[in-house]
Amino acid sequence: MRYARATLPTPTYSNSFWHSEPNEFLLGHRTTEELPAEADIVIVGTGITGTSAARYLSEDKRAEGKSIVVLDAREACWCATGRNGGHCQPLLWDRASEVALFELRNVAAVRSYVEANNVPCEWRTVHGCRTFWTEGSMAEAEREIAELKETNPESASLVTIIKDKAELKKNRVRTDCIGAALTAGAASLWPYKLVTFILEKLIKENRINLQTKTPVELITTDAEGTHTLHTPRGTISSPTVILATNGYTSALLPHFADLIVPVRGQMSALHPPKNSTILPNSYGMVGALGQPENNDDYLIQRPYEGVPNPGGHLMFGGGRGAGHMPTIGMSDDSVIDTDSAAYLRRSLLGVLDLDGETDGLKELSAASEWTGIMGYSRDDHPWVGKVPGNQGLWLCGGYTGHGMPNGTLCGKAIVDMVLGESEGRELGEVQESLIKKGDIPRSYLLSQERIERARGMLTVQQQDETGVHMLGVV
């Protein structure tokens, strides 16, 4: 069976709120006027993964003297990371223990970089509050959390179930909610500002050559294993290419069309009610207001204080079950589902206690409404490693809407694999070392065996239709 490939990022797009304060240094940036004809390493994509890979390469002595070129089809960080929900939240109980621990390490690594470099990205450490609006979803969460207490008490200690009405009210959740789970160690942030801070720093330190508005249309490989990336501005050749293309991966790797599937998600930046106070947590809403149990809505709130412009925006996404447009297999983020957008404007008033002047308020006004493209993995795990049968071609993506608590250390792991192999080490040996140190979960490793195993599973579309829970964005 043939599956439709993703398109390249579209030349037009809906306007993400995160781009309302663009990094002026990076707009239209091309470190060199001409596209270099060759490089030692080429990275495709400037989201959290591609940027992290560039950063870790620049920090690794094994890469000293290597030329690194980073390409993006659009402006820097103008695709998924520049359009997401602003969460950096580990999922602990619906993940294997190695994955839960990896996500905790990932969030800690991002926090450490933000603090060490004083990155102005509105980082706020919060609890993740996932609310459940059906008896079935609540029971499933309780079962999984009980299992976590048996298998990984350390992670389980970070999770608290709340069903008491007073506790729900304390967390600003409407008391008709079935219950919620509070997870420590989450964060919210302005993701675009973090990524562009890193990129600008790398460029000014002469570590990378960034070429924006340079879409890769095709990759060809010669008999010697040199990859040539074809763009409208010419070609660039390299023995080592890292694809950090997530939902757009199959545009360049057609045989991944059934393994990493683009899924369009809806986002909004909503003005809070007048005179309201900041919410204490980030939030997920499972099965809220009649939506299916395998659909999540997701919310963070920007700070009111310490920001240059008026803050407090409610960054709310989801509403897929209320929409009328197809989402799975869609890689066009220029369109907005008006029904999903209307749901997002209305529904917060029905699931959270928003204080301030809410009397008579039927919906919140939107500062911005937009869409973004996620990459859903058929087996619900990212794909990190060498593309089988392609020496020097590496892939890192497929986060199923959960890239912020994964992409940073996945980018580091791919760098360790690339540089380890360049030293003459066997890739399998490098990977086993990374697994042993907790630097990558075994389930994330890309292999032909895993590809074949995933193809024995339901497709992403079938999983959605049969109600299998896919992450969404939380």
The CATH number given to whatever domain includes residue 354 is 3.30.9.10
Q: Which of 325, 359, 374 is the last residue of a domain?
A: 374
239 and 303 in a single domain? The answer is: no
Q: Is residue 112 part of a domain?
A: no
177 and 278 in a single domain? The answer is: yes
Dist CA 261 CA 328 (whole Å): 7
238 and 272 in a single domain? The answer is: no
206 and 219 in a single domain? The answer is: yes
For the chain, the domain total comes to 2
Q: Phi first, then psi: what are they for 50, rounded to 5°?
A: -60, -40
Q: Which amino acid is at 148?
A: L
Between helix 407-422 and helix 427-436 the angle, nearest 10°, is: 140
64 and 155 in a single domain? The answer is: no
69 and 200 in a single domain? The answer is: yes
**How high is the pLDDT of residue 218?**
98
Q: Is residue 94 part of a domain?
A: no
Q: Which residues of the chain have pLDDT under 50?
A: 471-474
**How high is the pLDDT of residue 59?**
97
The parent domain of residue 244 ranges over 17-82+192-261+379-465
Q: Which of 328, 352, 374 is the last residue of a domain?
A: 374
393 and 440 in a single domain? The answer is: yes
Q: Is residue 168 part of a domain?
A: yes
Closest CA to 85 of 195, 13, 191: 191
Q: Is residue 9 part of a domain?
A: no
At 162-189, the pLDDT tens digits run: 999 999 999 999 999 999 999 999 999 9
46 and 147 in a single domain? The answer is: no
Q: Is the dihedral of CA 20, 22, 24, 28 positive or negative?
A: negative
132 and 223 in a single domain? The answer is: no
